[in-house]
A and B are shown apart, each in its own frame.
Chain A
Amino acid sequence: MKTKTPSKLEKILAAGNLAVTSECGPPRGSDPEAITKKAGMIKDHVDAINITDNQTSVTRLCSLASCIHLKLMGLEPILQMVVRDRNRIALQSDILGAASFDIHNILCLSGDHQQFGDSSQGQNVFDIDSMQLIQTVRHMRDDGKFLGGDDINRPPRMFVGAAANPFADPFEIRTPRLAKKIAAGVEFIQTQCIYNLDKFELWMQQNRDRGLHEKAYIMAGVTPFKSAGMAKYMKNRVPGMDVPDDVVKRMAGVPKEKQAQEGIDICVETIQRLKECDGVSGFHVMAIEWEEKVPEIVERSGLYPRPEAVE
Chain B
Amino acid sequence: MIVAKRKPIEEIIEEVQAYDKILLVGCNECVTVCEAGGKKEVAVLASALRMHFMNQGKEVKIDEITLERQCDHEYLEELRNQIDQYDVVVSLACGVGVQFMAEKYMNMPVMPGVDTCFMGVTEERGVWSERCQGCGTCMLAKTGGICPVSRCAKRLFNGPCGGSTNGHCEIDKNVICAWQLIIDRMKNLDKLEDYEALVPIKDWSTERAGGPRKVVREDVMQ
B partners with A: yes
* Interface contact A129-B160, CB-CB below 8 Å: no
For residue B196, CB closer than 8 A to chain A, the reply is: yes
Nearest opposing residue in chain A for B160, CB measure: A168
Contacts of A113 in B (CB 8 A): 153-154, 163, 170-171
Please give the distance in Å from B209's CB to the nearest CB on chain A: 8
| Inter-subunit contact A183/B162 (CB<8 Å) | no
Asked whether, in the complex, the Cβ of B198 is within 8 Å of the Cβ of A112, the reply is: no
Bound Cα distance A149, B161 (Å): 28
For A112, the chain B residues whose CB sits under 8 A away are 163, 170
Closest residue on chain A to residue B162 by CB atoms: A165
Q: Is B189 an interface residue, CB under 8 A from the partner?
A: no
A191's nearest neighbour on chain B, judged by CB, is B162
Which A residues are CB-close (under 8 A) to B195? 173, 176, 180
In Å, the complex CA distance between A4 and B124 comes to 56
Query: CA separation between A157 and B212, bound complex, in Å?
Result: 39
Smallest Cβ-Cβ distance to A115: which chain B residue: B171
* A144, B201: Cα distance in complex, Å: 18
| Cross-chain contact B198 with A184 (CB below 8 angstroms) | yes
Contact of B198 among A183, A192, A239, A240 (CB under 8 A): A183
> What CA separation (Å) do A194 and B184 show in the bound complex?
26
Asked if B158 is an interface residue, CB under 8 A from chain A, the answer is yes
**Total CB contacts across the A-B interface at under 8 A:** 94
Asked whether A239 and B163 contact (CB < 8 A) given A169-B180, A173-B183, A179-B196, the answer is: yes
Closest Cβ–Cβ distance, residue B184 to chain A (whole Å): 8
Residues of chain B lying within 8 A (CB to CB) of residue A192: 162
Q: Known contacts A88-B201, A131-B198, A173-B183: does B158 contact A180 (CB below 8 Å)?
A: yes
B196→A240 contact, CB < 8 A: no
- A132 and B167 contact, CB distance less than 8 A: no
**Interface 9-mer from A9-17, A60-68, A120-128, A254-262:** A120-128
Residues of A close to B154: CB separation below 8 A = 84, 110-111, 113, 124, 126, 129
Query: Does B159 reach chain A (CB closer than 8 Å)?
Result: yes
List residues 161-216 of chain B with CB under 8 A from any CB of chain A.
Answer: 161-167, 170-171, 177, 180, 183-184, 192, 195-196, 198, 200-202, 204
Beta-carbon contact of B162 and A168 below 8 Å: yes
Least Cβ distance of B14 to chain A in Å? 22
Contacts of A176 in B (CB 8 A): 192, 195-196
Number of interface residues of B (CB under 8 A): 29
Chain B residue contacts of A183, Cβ below 8 A? 196, 198
| A126-B154, A169-B164 known; A132+B201 contact, CB < 8 A | yes
CA distance A132 to B163 in the complex (A): 18
Within 8 A of A (CB), among B3-46: none
Tell me whether B155 is interfacial, beta carbon within 8 Å: yes
Minimum CB–CB distance for B31 against chain A, Å:
26
Cα separation A110 to B165 with both chains bound (whole Å):
16
Q: In the complex the two chains form, what is the Cα distance from A129 to B200 in whole Å?
A: 10
- Does any Cβ of B come within 8 Å of A163's Cβ? yes
Take A112-B170, A183-B198 as given contacts and tell me if A132 and B165 are in contact as well, using a CB distance cutoff of 8 Å.
Answer: no
Q: Which of B156, B200, B202, B204 makes the CB contact (< 8 A) with A110?
A: B156
Instruction: Specify the chain B residue showing the minimal Cβ separation from A180.
Output: B196
* Cα-based distance from A170 to B154 in the complex (angstroms): 17
**Chain A 142-185 interface mask (CB, 8 Å, partner B; 1/0):** 00000100000000000000011100111011001101100110
| Contact residues of A between 171 and 207, Cβ < 8 Å to B | 172-173, 176-177, 179-180, 183-184, 192
A133 closest partner in B (C-beta): B201
A242: nearest chain-B partner, CB-CB: B165
A227 interfacial by beta-carbon distance below 8 Å? no
Complexed CA–CA distance, A111 and B163 (Å) = 10
Question: Does A135 interact with chain B (Cβ within 8 Å)?
Answer: yes
Determine if A168 and B196 form an interchain contact, defined as CB atoms under 8 angstroms apart. no
| A240 to B171 Cα, complex, angstroms | 12
Q: Give the shortest distance, in Å, between B8 (CB) and chain A (any CB).
A: 18
Q: Mark A8-39, 1 if CB is under 8 A from B, else 0.
A: 00000000000000000000000000000000
B100: Cβ under 8 A from any A Cβ: no
Residues of A within 8 A of B158 (CB): 129-132, 180, 184
> Chain B interface (Cβ within 8 Å of chain A)?
153-167, 170-171, 177, 180, 183-184, 192, 195-196, 198, 200-202, 204
5 closest cross-chain pairs (CB), A and B: A165-B162, A131-B158, A239-B170, A239-B163, A126-B155
Known contacts A110-B156, A169-B180, A173-B195, then 7 further A-B pairs from the complex at CB < 8 Å, ordered by chain A residue: A129-B154, A131-B158, A163-B162, A168-B165, A169-B167, A170-B180, A180-B195
